[in-house]
Every structure is written in structure tokens, then in C-alpha cells.
Structure 1
Amino acid sequence: MEQALATNLTETDTGEDRAADLRGKIHALLAGGDCSQAQIARVSGLSAAALSSWLKGAYKGDNSAVEEKLLKWLGARDRNARTSAAMPAAPAWVDTPTGRRIHAVLMFAQAAGDLGCIYGGAGLGKTKALQSYAAASPNVWVSTMSPAHGGVSSALEEIAEAIGLRGIPGRAARLQRELVNRLNNTGGLLIVDEAQHLNMRSLEAIRAIHDATGVGLVLCGNEAVFARLTGGSREATFAQLFSRLGKRLRLTKAAPGDVDAMADAFGVMGTAERRFLAGIASKPGALRGVVKTLRLASVFAAGKGESLTVDHLNAAWHDLAGEG
């Protein structure tokens, strides 16, 4: 549909012919269900009323200005469609050795009703592994924290949202009680991702839910997560958490098998190409950098009608770094 509707209108086209042709293309998109009138208005920068009137040929304002905005939107839409067609989608989940190690911690914590911690560098597939485990397992909830969730109430609200509890009035104590009631006797697993954003009181509140329900709990994030649990000198307040830690996993770099699995997922079989990808995986960003490079390199290769080579990977890597 998108290729068939690729606009051949230019900014030099004028008059009723351009307006009629443009209306026809917009009506075809609407009829095909590719997008709604409200969506077109929003992304093109028009008001819904102006677009509606223009589509009926009844707009009393500056019709040329409306048409210019729609032309720019259609042109951008077509360019994005061509790029997307050449760019392979990032896989939702690739079964890597690191991913299996993460799953092992999650399975242990859920089966034993224990507390686990997964921590380390960025770009190693931690979040993807958490999501894949949750998607394949009953009573597993992933709650992702951010700097906005450092306090007890905001952290508990985010967890409540993740497990399907919404609109609970009251303070942190009420939220905690409702969470305990919901999680009790589920045999489930609560995964808190990006847990480095939580302060000590929030961690203790979440630990109390684990203690009260026996639900498995895994804290995941960067190195600061484990540092928070050990507390450096391990004062009593930190010891409460650390003493309950049943299983931990520190990830510092991608495993060799991780790169091979990712290359397999993208159909990259050449030895030289895999060696280049392994070099990317050894840098900050690790597997995330590998995936981004593979996707952009695929666009470069498709644009030249060639099979993906080291040259395409090298060009993509430098382009992503702003050196292209």
C-alpha cells in the first residue's frame, strides 16, 4: 500500500490538479486503514478541523499551506517506509549464552521464592532476557524503574501498575498492603529492572513485600544495584537485604557465543563479518551496538544491491558514531 501510494507530487506542482491528486492519496490512505484522520492531522501539524474541511474541499483558510504540510508528511512517510523495508527488525529475543544465565537466576528465584540480583554493564541483553522470561512464564511481572521512581510511593505505584493494580488511593502503606494481597500464594516472580534508581527505603519496602508473600524477587540493573545491597561497610540496614540475597549474577562483557547467536539471527555467516561484530561487542554498548550496526549495515547493503560485508558493517559503525 505504501509503495503504491508513494507521492510523485513536488513542491513546484500548483493549482487544482495538485489539490485533487493530494486529496485522492489521503482518501486512499484513510480507506485502506493505514492511518486515521486524527493521526494524519497530528503528525502533519494540522488541526483536525482544518484537515476535515480541506478533505471536503471546503477549507476557507490558506489551502496552499495545508497542502504543503501534507506533502511534506507524505514525503517523509514514503522515505521512512523505504528505509524500514530495507532495515531488518531488531529481534525481540535471541537465545544467547548470557540470556540463558539470566534465565537461570530468574528460574531459581521463582522456584525457591528467593531474592536474586543481576547487575553489570549496559547493552548485554539484560532487559530483553527479563522480558522473554516473563512472556513465557505465568505470574511473572517486570516493573521498570526510572529516576522518577526513587521514592517508596512512586516505586510501589510502578509495581502495582506492572501487576495490574490501578487506581489504588492512599499512601505507601496502603499500596504495600494491596500488593501483598495480590502477590500472596501466587508462586510468582517480581522482577524490578533498572533498580539502581531506587533509594534504600524503596528497596526495603520491596524486600518487605518479598518477605510477606514468599514471591520471588529479582533486582536488575547496573553495578550500583549490587553496591546498594552490600552497602560498602554492610551496615545493619544494608545487611537486611544482603543477607537475603540467594543468587547473584554479574555481567561485565558479552560472551563469544552471544555474538555468534546474534549473527545467526541476522543471517550473517562470514568469518570476517563475525570477527568485526565481536570487536563491536567488546566496546561499551556491547550487543546493543552489534544490533544497531547490523540494522544500519543492512540498509547500506540493500541500497547498493549487495550482500552484507565487513565494508557495510564498518561504514555503519562509523556512521552511528557520527564519523560517516
Structure 2
Amino acid sequence: MSTYPEHYTPEDIRQVEQIKAWMAERNYKQAALARLARVSSSSLSQILGGTYATAPGKLLVNVANAMKHADDTASDTVAAVETSVFRVANTAFQMARRYRNFAVVSAFVGTGKTFAAKHYQRTTPNTYLIEATPTMTVQSLIKLLARTVAGFDGKGSIDDKFRAIVDSLVNTDSLLIVDEADTLTPHVLHTLRRLRDLANVGIVLCGTEHLTGLIRPAHGQFDQIRSRAGFWPETIRGITADDAAALVQAAFGDEDISDEVIARLFAYCKGSARMLIEGLVAAITQFRNGRELNVQLVDAVAKQALCLQSVA
């Protein structure tokens, strides 16, 4: 084992050695891990080399979380990178579940809220995710929830099905996530409010920026839900540059991606994780043909495959 300074605790040393072993086993580049962990490459290099000037414990936690996340999502079609949007959404899910109240997540289209909701539902027991539609009625909502939550797909009145839903959920640690909630009518939202009150479970409403506009006005049509919202951050307008860096790094594995390439991809995506991953990264992967991933390639793919205006 290498020699470490005195301000490295035994736990710090154990984690450093674990990181080195993890990277060696997976042939994972240090720069790639640093980017996923939101730690500068120089800081991670100093930490692993035993030359970091202060206690490294806090940064080691970030690195350990990134390693776990990389392992947990290795088989995902798209890696569930912990972007700022992903973290806000997960905070909403956790708080609504813990405090059995409403949480509201509003974000611009393509920022990743739906991806976060699907990942949370897939990886967390007793989580139910439904997607609202503009034509959803109280009856169609209750029928959907009866099948999804209570396994009730037979005959019976709407009231019978609603009571079956309540009986299945009441006082459990269940969580209901409703995506596209900005399309719901006041009657459907009132039904969700009654469900929350009777079953004593958490409900998260996810939607576009219009969701906040509907709920926020005092004494508006959604005021009864507004008063029950325990977590309700500002509308998310887009991913950050750090988010983009982590997403790009995850998409290309342990390949060493230059800061210039990441900056150019971020400029093209204009804050949309969907455009970044499903548009730019997918097109580059399709048309790269073994070429070096550089700014010139990004510009060419953006123009020729996606008809995007130059940001150079």
C-alpha cells in the first residue's frame, strides 16, 4: 500500500485503494471518473497520489457515489447520470414519499425529468408511474390506477375501483408519480388530492413549465394541491454545463473526451438533455465511422445529420 499523509484517515486510505482497484478492474480512465464525480481531474489525481493538501473525505464520497452509479447503470441503454435535474427529481420523490404529501417538479421539455421518474420507478419498490394525457377523465384515471395499483380490472363501479385503490395504498410507503401533469383537468387533480388525503401517501406531479403557472396563483383552480405541496422548486429551464459533461462522458464510456468537444455539444443542445443524447450523441455514434471525436466532427454531424445552425 502507498504512503499517505497524516491527514488521510484510515477510511480515506481504504477508499483511495478501492478507487484504484475499481478503475484497474474496469479499465476506467481517471479523467472519466473525475467528470462523473464532479471532481476536477487535478484534485482526483492528487487524492489518489496522496498529495491532496486537505482531508479528502468529502470528495471521496462523490467519487464513491459515481462509481456505484456507473456500476448500477452499466446495463442501461442510457446511463442514469445524476444530473442536476435528476437530483432535483429524486429529492421530490423522496420527500413526497417520506412526508406523504405532494411534490411538484416542473421543467422545460427535454431536460430529463421523465427519465428520472422512470429510473426511480424502475429501481424503487412500491412506486407507481402513470402518464397523464389531455383527454384523461376521472373515470379513465381511476380505471388506470385500479389496474396499476390494485390489480383491479374486473367489473364494478368507479367508486368501487377508487376504494380498492385507497385500500391498496393506505398508510403504505407507496409513491405515485404522475408525469405530464400539466395536461390534467381540475376534476382529475381533485381526485388525486382526495386519493392522497384518504390513502395518506405521497404524490409527485411532473410536468412542463406550464404546471407551475397553473398551481401557483393564489386561490387558483389547483389551490388545494398547492397548499399540500411540501417540495416545489423553481421551474428547471435546462441542464447545466456540468450535467452535459457527465452525460457525454457516460455516453462514450471511458473514452477521453476533450473539454472543447463537451463545450461544443453543450452549445448545440441549448440545455436539452434529450437533444444532447438522443440527437447529437446518437448521430455522432452513427456517423463517426472510427474518426476522432473532435470539434470539427461535432460541427459536421450537427449540420449534416441534424440541420443545426452553427454555434462556432
TM over 0.5: yes
TM-score, scaled to structure 1: 0.65
Give, in angstroms, the shift of residue 252 of structure 1: 1.1
Q: What does residue 292 of structure 2 align with?
A: 307
Give, in angstroms, the shift of residue 164 of structure 1: 5.3
- Seen in structure 2, the aligned counterparts of structure 1 residues 155 and 280 have a Cα distance that, compared at 3 Å, is farther
The whole-number CA distance in structure 1 between the counterparts of 2:150 and 2:202 is 18
The whole-number CA distance in structure 1 between the counterparts of 2:224 and 2:305 is 44
- Seen in structure 2, the aligned counterparts of structure 1 residues 188 and 281 have a Cα distance that, compared at 3 Å, is same
Tell me the number of residue pairs that the alignment of Structure 1 and Structure 2 aligns: 230
Say which of 146, 152, 165 aligns to 2:133.
146
2:261 equivalent to 1:273: yes
- Aligned-pair identity in percent equals 24
Which segments of 5 or more consecutive residues in structure 2 lack a partner in the other structure?
Answer: 1-75
Query: Equivalent residues in 2 for 1:124-143 (5 A)?
Result: 124-143=111-130
Which shifted more, 157-166 or 103-112?
157-166
Answer with 1 or 2: which has the greater Rg.
1
Query: Equivalent residues in 2 for 1:80-229 (5 A)?
Result: 90-149=77-136, 151-163=137-149, 165-229=151-215
- Seen in structure 2, the aligned counterparts of structure 1 residues 233 and 103 have a Cα distance that, compared at 3 Å, is closer
The whole-number CA distance in structure 2 between the counterparts of 1:113 and 1:93 is 26
Two-structure CA RMSD over aligned residues (Å) = 2.3
Q: Is the Cα contact below 8 Å between 1:168 and 1:175 reproduced in 2?
A: no
The whole-number CA distance in structure 1 between the counterparts of 2:296 and 2:147 is 46
Q: Deviations over 1:224-256 (max 9, x none)?
A: 2222223x3524x53211111111132112122
The whole-number CA distance in structure 2 between the counterparts of 1:190 and 1:299 is 37
2:285 equivalent to 1:316: no
2:236 equivalent to 1:251: yes
Give, in angstroms, the shift of residue 92 of structure 1: 4.7
- Seen in structure 2, the aligned counterparts of structure 1 residues 226 and 306 have a Cα distance that, compared at 3 Å, is same
Q: Deviations over 1:106-137 (max 9, x none)?
A: 11110111110000201111011111112221
Secondary structure of the structure 2 residue equivalent to 1:227: helix
The whole-number CA distance in structure 1 between the counterparts of 2:148 and 2:163 is 16
Q: Which amino acid aligns with 1:240?
A: Q
